[in-house]
Amino acid sequence: MPGPEPRPPRPTDGRAADVVDVFVYVVVLNLFVEYLPAVISETFTLSLLTAVLLKAVLEVVVAVKKRARGRFRSARSTAGKVAAGLLLWGVLVGSKFVVLKTIDVVFGDSVSLGGFVSVTLLILALLVSRAAVRRLLAPAPRVLGPGD
């Protein structure tokens, strides 16, 4: 007897993942606020709003990084590889400054992510934590038994 058909993704699946991402970002951001003096958020509400803004900015950065990586992989000449590599490096480094400037413009002195090093560590921690939680919450693969 065949198993149940896999269900098609529901329209809410993406939004649920986004909400989980924001919750993960709030936890990680508040750990940074607690343990790194350079990272400041005056209130929990500002941490939550910062997490939402970080989610939006990082989604754009990840999309741009994927495109730059695709250009690097598809480049055929050495000059193309070098140009695409510089583009990818520019995105990886420049994105940190974009995050810092965006947070500064939106929240002013009420929120500070420190400098380049602390925001780089924060972004790495956010992305690693998000990936770990997504893996933890992913449905387990169905194991077929002898009667299947």
Nearest to 47 by CA among 112, 125, 121: 112
Instruction: Dihedral sign for Cα 107, 112, 116, 117, please.
Output: negative
* pTM, full prediction: 0.77
Q: How far is CA 127 from the centre of its chain?
A: 4
> Looking at residues 95-107, what average pLDDT do you find?
92
Q: Say yes or no to pLDDT of 76 above 60.
A: yes
Contact call for residues 79 and 99 (beta carbons, < 8 A): no
> Looking at residues 117-131, what average pLDDT do you find?
93
Confidence band, pLDDT 50/70/90 cuts, at residue 11: very low
Q: How far is CA 125 from the centre of its chain?
A: 9
For the chain, which residues make up each domain, given as ranges?
14-137
Q: Say yes or no to pLDDT of 108 above 90.
A: yes
User: In the structure encoding, which two tokens stand for residue 104, read together?
Assistant: 């500064």
Nearest to 5 by CA among 123, 109, 133, 142: 142
Contact call for residues 44 and 134 (beta carbons, < 8 A): no
